[in-house]
Amino acid sequence: MSTVRHNTTLVNGTEIFYREAGQKGKPALVLLHGYPTSSHMYRNLLQQLAGDFYLIAPDYPGFGRSAQPHMADFEYSFDNFANIVEGLLDQLGLQRYSLYLMDYGAPVGFRIASAHPEKIDSLIVQNGCAYDEGLEQFWDPIKSYWKNKDDKATERILEGFHSIDGLQWQYTNGVADTALVSPDNWEHDLRHILRPGNNDIQLQLFYDYQQNVALYPKWQEYFRTYNPEMLIVYGKNDYIFPVAGAEAYKKDVKNLEYHLFDTGHFALETHGDEIAAAIRTFLHKKVARKSQPAA
């Protein structure tokens, strides 16, 4: 079943868009997207894995095709994004699942995993961070913003990350053959970023990211205590979350399968076939015998 369904539902009063593929009853994989993108980044992976697994890929509020509530009415934080994703999974009746964690998807997913370790079959990490080692030069202006949210010079630097040039750079930096990366990616992302008020939402999430860093020790303790099965599929040329952050997982994760690819931040754009094959092999080996009951 390679058909991808495009659904919208209310979660905690907010309209959430999500892509769904595969058949319920097969091992479930929840795909959590990063900044500045949406579930669109998983459009190909959903097709590639739908024959073997049941897949869900939501858009966070303010991203993709999910609603963008006014900031006065909605808390744009990683805590709240995790609550939204959990609410969706509860609606879908998923009691066990694997999580694919990319960029912002890592702090969202690690909140869920550490709060509900009994629900986690495995973790797949693609250019997502849980260690200080993964926060190098790219993060300097964001760290400055944490110290002074009123610094307009720093704010302009951060806004540049989701300008059209900044979007394109995130997709192409570290990629040997940029012709492999579709320009549709940053054009698609720009659609939601240009919504009135979205720039302020993105800045608020940059500021809130410091709460993720404060939780790194808790997540590392989760790794040591619960020994989750983990697959790392990482673009090794990523400037945003450099490979030192991928290496750091080796300190705490015992059940680790580790793959680096010669590409940048959005590794699926250039190495989607290889990553899909690694996921399929990993999940069949680790969780295929654990059948997910239908809702």
Phi first, then psi: what are they for 104, rounded to 5°?
-60, -25
* Distances 216 to 191, 219, 233 between C-alpha atoms, Å: 32, 5, 20
- 259, 265, 271, 284: which one is catalytic? 265
- Let me know if 265 is a catalytic residue: yes
End-to-end CA distance of the chain: give it in Å, rounded: 18
Count other Cβ atoms within 10 Å, centred on residue 80. 17
The Cα 113–Cα 90 span in angstroms is 14
Count other Cβ atoms within 10 Å, centred on residue 131. 20
Phi first, then psi: what are they for 30, rounded to 5°?
-105, 125
Cβ atoms of residues 71 and 200 within 8 Å: yes
Q: What is the DSSP-derived secondary structure letter of residue 216?
A: H
> Across the beta sheet with 97-101, what order do the strands follow?
4-11, 14-21, 54-58, 28-32, 97-101, 120-125, 230-235, 256-261
User: Residue 280 carries which side chain, given as an amino acid letter?
Assistant: R
What are the DSSP E strand ranges found in 161-269? 230-235, 256-261
User: Residue 122 carries which side chain, given as an amino acid letter?
Assistant: S
The residues carrying an active-site annotation are 265
